[in-house]
């Protein structure tokens, strides 16, 4: 039995190497919630192709880490597979900046060592950026679309994952990345229009499935102005 398992392990490992399949451990996160392209006619997600003016909660910009390396500080958050019990936003705090619970007031999770909070308007376009982390291949993804879930609750507490799933406002193609050989650190992203909401601050969740039932999420507050 044990021997069989070991043989199976070796076989799978060899297969992965031979087929060039990406490492399954690599996980992504929302690197930027409000990315502004330098040249909207030639949209680029690369560092030199724009800048980020809105971030997830407690995003540690002061650490100046290169794009796509923030998994070293546990920036990613793997949720429970069951949306009835899954915590929408990381509550772990087991690495600088990885605690994405709602701050009170929400503005406390932004500014200083953290990134800025997103400020936008209804109908405005928000462009969200993430690192490929070896997974920007349609053939390896069961669901290639990132959910953008936007709470309908204004200036209020975070809602549950089940409630967030009733408020998916966009589905962005995870595999839309910059060309390049580095399949781990390629920059990817997608844009969507801010839906109708009364002025106020709302929870925005980026949620992506790596393997079956293996979800990752990032949370941000966005201020929708008149
Ligand atoms: C995360 O942040 C919240 C709000 O500031 C705080 O109450 C909580 O203790 C933090 N959690 C951890 C694990 O640091």
CATH number at residue 62: 2.70.50.50
When pLDDT is cut at 50, 70 and 90, the band that residue 25 belongs to is low
- Residue 23 predicted with pLDDT over 50: no
pTM, rounded to two decimals:
0.88
pLDDT at 139: 86
- The count of domains in the chain is 1
- Residue 7 predicted with pLDDT over 50: no
User: Would you say residue 1 lies in a domain?
Assistant: no
- Residue 20 predicted with pLDDT over 50: no
User: Would you say residue 106 lies in a domain?
Assistant: yes
User: Would you say residue 17 lies in a domain?
Assistant: no
Which residue has its alpha carbon closest to ligand 1 atom 4?
103
87 touches ligand 1 (CB under 6 Å): no
Tokens of 28: 């992504």
105 touches ligand 1 (CB under 6 Å): no
| Cβ-contact 208, 147 below 8 angstroms | yes
User: Would you say residue 155 lies in a domain?
Assistant: yes
| Top mutation candidate among 91, 114, 157 for ligand 1, by most atoms within 8 Å of CB | 91
pLDDT at 181: 85
- Residue 192 predicted with pLDDT over 70: yes
Cα–ligand 1 centroid distance for 91 (angstroms):
7
User: Would you say residue 209 lies in a domain?
Assistant: yes
Element (H, E) at 168: strand 168-173
| 35-139-145-83 Cα dihedral, nearest 10 degrees | -130
Which residue has its alpha carbon closest to ligand 1 atom 3?
101
User: Would you say residue 61 lies in a domain?
Assistant: yes
The CA radius of gyration of the chain, in Å to the nearest whole number, is: 18
What number does the ligand 1 atom closest to the CA of 102 have?
Answer: 4
Provide the residue range defining the domain that includes 119.
30-225
183 touches ligand 1 (CB under 6 Å): no
101 touches ligand 1 (CB under 6 Å): yes
* pLDDT averaged over every residue in the chain: 89
User: Would you say residue 8 lies in a domain?
Assistant: no
Q: What 3-state DSSP class applies to 179?
A: coil
When pLDDT is cut at 50, 70 and 90, the band that residue 19 belongs to is very low
Cα–ligand 1 centroid distance for 97 (angstroms):
10
User: Would you say residue 124 lies in a domain?
Assistant: yes
**Phi first, then psi: what are they for 37, rounded to 5°?**
-70, 140
- Residue 1 predicted with pLDDT over 50: no
| Top mutation candidate among 87, 88, 93 for ligand 1, by most atoms within 8 Å of CB | 93
């Amino acid at each position: 039995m044990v021997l069989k398992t070991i043989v199976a392990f070796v076989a799978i490992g060899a297969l992965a190497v031979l087929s060039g399949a990406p490492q399954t451990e690599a996980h992504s996160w929302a690197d930027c919630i409000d990315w502004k392209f330098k040249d909207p006619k030639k949209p680029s997600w690369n560092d030199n192709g724009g800048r980020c003016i809105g971030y997830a909660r407690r995003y540690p910009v002061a650490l100046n880490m290169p794009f796509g390396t923030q998994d070293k500080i546990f920036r990613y958050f793997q949720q429970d597979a069951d949306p009835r019990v899954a915590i929408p936003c990381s509550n772990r705090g087991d690495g600088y900046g990885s605690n994405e619970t709602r701050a009170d007031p929400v503005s406390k999770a932004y500014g200083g060592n953290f990134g800025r909070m997103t400020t936008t308007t209804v109908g405005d376009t928000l462009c969200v950026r993430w690192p490929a982390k070896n997974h920007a291949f349609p053939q390896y993804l069961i669901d290639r679309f990132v959910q953008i879930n936007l709470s309908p609750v204004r200036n209020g507490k975070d809602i549950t994952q089940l409630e967030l799933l009733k408020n998916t406002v966009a589905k962005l193609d995870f595999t839309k990345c910059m060309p390049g050989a580095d399949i781990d650190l390629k920059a990817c992203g997608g844009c969507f229009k801010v839906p109708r909401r009364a002025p106020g601050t709302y929870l925005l969740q980026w949620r992506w499935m790596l393997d079956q039932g293996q979800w990752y999420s990032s949370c941000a507050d966005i201020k929708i102005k008149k």
